[in-house]
Amino acid sequence: MNYYALQVKTRGEAKYIKLFRATHPEIKMPIYFPQRALDIRRAGKIIHTKSAIFPGYIFIEIDNDDDILNYHWAFRRTDGFFRFLRSNQNIVPLADRDLELVLHFIKQADALAGKSKVVFDENSRISVIEGPLAGLEGKIIKVDKRKGRAKIRLDLYDDSFTIDLAFEMLESAEQQHK
List, as one string, the DSSP characters of the chain.
Answer: -EEEEEEE-TT-HHHHHHHHHHH-TT----EE--EEEEEEEETTEEEEEEEESSTTEEEEEESSHHHHHHHHHHHHHSTTEEEESB-SSSB----HHHHHHHHHHHTSGGGEE-PEEEEE-TT--EEEEESTTTT-GGGEEEEETTTTEEEEEEEETTEEEEEEEEEEEPPPHHHHH-
Are 108 and 144 found together in one domain?
A: no
Total domains in the chain come to 2
Q: pTM of the full predicted structure? A: 0.83
The reported pLDDT for the residue numbered 111 is 61
Are 28 and 89 found together in one domain?
A: yes
CATH number at 33 reads 3.30.70.940
pLDDT tens digit string along 111-166?
Answer: 677 888 888 887 778 888 888 888 888 888 888 888 888 899 888 877 788 888 88
Are 74 and 151 found together in one domain?
A: no
Q: How confident is the model at residue 176 (pLDDT cuts 50, 70, 90)?
A: very low
Are 134 and 96 found together in one domain?
A: no
> Considering the chain, what percentage of its residues have pLDDT values greater than 70?
94
What is the average per-residue pLDDT within 20-48? 90
User: Across all residues in the chain, what is the average pLDDT?
Assistant: 86
Are 31 and 66 found together in one domain?
A: yes
Are 119 and 165 found together in one domain?
A: yes
Q: The domain containing residue 22 runs over which residues?
A: 1-113
Q: Among 1-10, 44-53, 157-166, whose mean pLDDT is lowest?
A: 157-166
